[in-house]
Amino acid sequence: MLSFLRIVQSAPKKVNLQAHDTHMRSQTDAGIDLTAPPLDPIELSLRKEKSEKEARQLLEREKLVHNNRVMDTYYSFLLFFRFTSSLSYVSKEKNFNI
């Protein structure tokens, strides 16, 4: 009954050493000591929480700087527009050609 199933031999899989090397390099760049014993789950979660908090703070600072630049540009435009509209008003009232 199972005679119609054929076993197919596939070629042995090769390990991609470049991926392991890249992973090891990224761990080393992140400051992880590869010779130390692995972190337990609590230490790992604390380290992850710390890095995520730093990333959030950096993002918030960048947003704040961006928003301040936008508002400075907006207020500069408003002041310029108000100043130029007041000049045109004065010129109409006093017949100055500005």
* 3-state helix vs strand vs coil in the chain, percent to 5: 70, 0, 30
Helix (H, G, I), strand (E, B) or coil at 9: coil
Angle at 87 between CA 84 and CA 92, to 5 degrees: 130
Q: Tell me the whole-structure pTM to 2 decimals.
A: 0.46
pLDDT tens-digit profile of 38-86?
778 888 889 899 999 999 999 999 999 999 998 888 888 777 777 666 6
Residue that wins the pLDDT comparison between 68 and 91 = 68
Amino acid at 40: D
Question: Domain segments of the chain: what residues?
Answer: 40-98
